[in-house]
Amino acid sequence: MIDLGIEDGVYVLRMQNGENRFNRGFLEALNGALDEVEKSSGPAALVTTGDGKFYSNGLDLEWMMAQSPSELPGFGTLLQRTFARLVAFPLVTVAAVNGHVFAAGAALAMSHDFRVMRSDRGYFCFPEVDIGVPFSAGVMAILKSRLPSSTLHEALITGRRYDALAALSGGIVDAVYSESDVLPEAIEMASALKEKDRATLVALKRGLYGKVIEQLTDDPGSAPPGS
């Protein structure tokens, strides 16, 4: 489900569960890998990526429908705290978007410091307007902090599917590369920043995004934060 390795001083977290949809087991495995990275010492950075044609397709709706109503608030809280954890992560983080990334999966990518995207395949999309599931205030705070206002308006109001070049033009991703280069280039980008002091990074990120983190961690998780 989650594979964690290290290359050139960069932790590479590979999500390997098909569409990489989020359920409790997936998030617990993801956070377990993040625990391992945080327990490390010395220069390091973090890259996350998916497998095949998906980075992440969002929430595992089939799993959610099978849960009792009492389970979902806790799951929503876990998801939002995972986003908050990445926003304030003590290492530089890069999402290597290897394929489709939708909804809550896109919110996960936006929680990273930087994003690079495969040029020839995959869409970056926030389809909530078309499926009738609005983002929570915490996830909206992430998007407002990361995206140009014109891009955010278009992305949320239209549900546009951005290919790599459109995502680059709209400020959603920082660079685009071929399929064979997207992960190596993400690792190279992260490796160039691996010497940054961890405590200082956390202080700076909390200074920049304190209100975002607060909204994510204070939300009771009463509703799913996007699909």
Q: Per-residue pLDDT tens for 192-209?
A: 999 999 999 999 999 999
Three-class DSSP category at 169: helix
Q: Tell which CATH architecture fits domain 2-218.
A: Alpha-Beta Complex (3.90)
Q: Per-residue pLDDT tens for 56-86?
A: 999 999 999 999 999 999 999 999 999 999 9
To 5 degrees, how large is the angle CA 182–CA 150–CA 208? 70
CB contact at 8 A, 107 and 144? no
Tokens 């280069």 -> residue: 181
| Alpha carbon distance, N-terminus to C-terminus of the chain | 20
Three-class DSSP category at 128: helix
- pTM given for the model: 0.95
Q: Per-residue pLDDT tens for 127-143?
A: 999 999 899 999 999 99
Helices (DSSP H) in the chain: which residue ranges?
24-39, 61-65, 71-87, 103-110, 128-131, 137-146, 149-158, 164-169, 182-191, 198-218
pLDDT for the residue 222: 42
| Span 15-31, average pLDDT | 97
